Amino acid sequence: MNASIDKPIETFQLFKTAIDRSGKSFDNFTNAEKRALAEITKMDVDEMNKLFKLDLRTGINELNRMMKEEQDMKKAAEEASTALEKLTKIFYIFVGYLTPVIKEVHRVIDGFHKWIQANKETAKNLGLVLTVAAALTLGLTLLAKAYVFLVAIVMSTRSLLGGKSAVDVIARCWFWSKFRARTFGETRTSCNKQC
């Protein structure tokens, strides 16, 4: 046979024609014969089994499709390899620039760790101070939110009370009730029209 392994279509044509003329089918081959043919054609036994079951023209078309897929996969692998090589180079460049920073961060962390080991009581107190500071911050945040909520309520009730805020109305009622109690001896605490 003159077929070259570099020309898989011609090789397939020759073997397919020879097998068809012999009256045998690829299924009738022994495992050793199948492996030998696969080694000669540089194809997988399963691929060969699939191709040799097809007629010659369909087999050639399928082989062309498989070869194109393989070329596309090789090209994609080469492009991915090139991109990976570029990313690797970039990574090493960054590592080169960041090495002094990383060493300094390690030095600071090691120093802090040694300080904590040497000053366990102080570190414990520092942890307590940080916890109290976090709790105070949380408390102040909650107070600020409550203040904003109250301001929103006061501002929204202003329109309901004819331009007066709820605080104004409550303060006036309280003031007039105290004024009446002192001046006139009234003991009722309800608000009247003067509020």
Residues with Cβ within 8 Å of 11's Cβ and at least 6 positions away in sequence, in order, are 3, 4, 5, 40, 41
Q: What is the pTM of this model?
A: 0.39
Non-local CB neighbours of 51 within 8 Å, separated by 6+ positions: 12, 16, 43, 59, 62, 63
- Is 12 a member of any domain? yes
Q: How many CA atoms lie within 13 A of 34 on its CB side?
A: 17
Phi, psi (degrees; rounded to nearest 5) at 164: -100, 145
The two structure tokens encoding residue 85: 């090589």
Is residue 74 situated within a structural domain? Answer: yes
Say which DSSP state 54 is in: S
Structure confidence at residue 49 (pLDDT): 84
Specify if 90 maps to a domain. no
At residue 27, the pLDDT reads 83
Rounded to a whole number of angstroms, the distance between the first and last alpha carbons of the chain is 116
47 located within any domain: yes
Q: In 10 A of CB 48, how many CB atoms? A: 19
Q: Residue 58: give the domain boundaries.
A: 8-79
127 in any annotated domain = no
Please report whether residue 121 resides in a domain: no
| pLDDT score, position 50 | 87
pLDDT given at position 194: 47
Give average pLDDT by consecutive 10-residue segment, the chain, 195 residues.
62 85 84 86 84 87 89 85 80 77 86 85 86 88 80 65 62 66 61 49
Helix or strand or coil: residue 91?
helix
What's the structural domain count of the chain? 1
In a domain, 56, yes or no: yes
**Sole residue written with tokens 């089994």:** 49
Predicted local distance difference test score (pLDDT) of residue 156: 66
Nearest to 55 by CA among 22, 27, 17: 17
According to the model, what pLDDT value does residue 101 have?
81
Is 125 part of any domain?
A: no
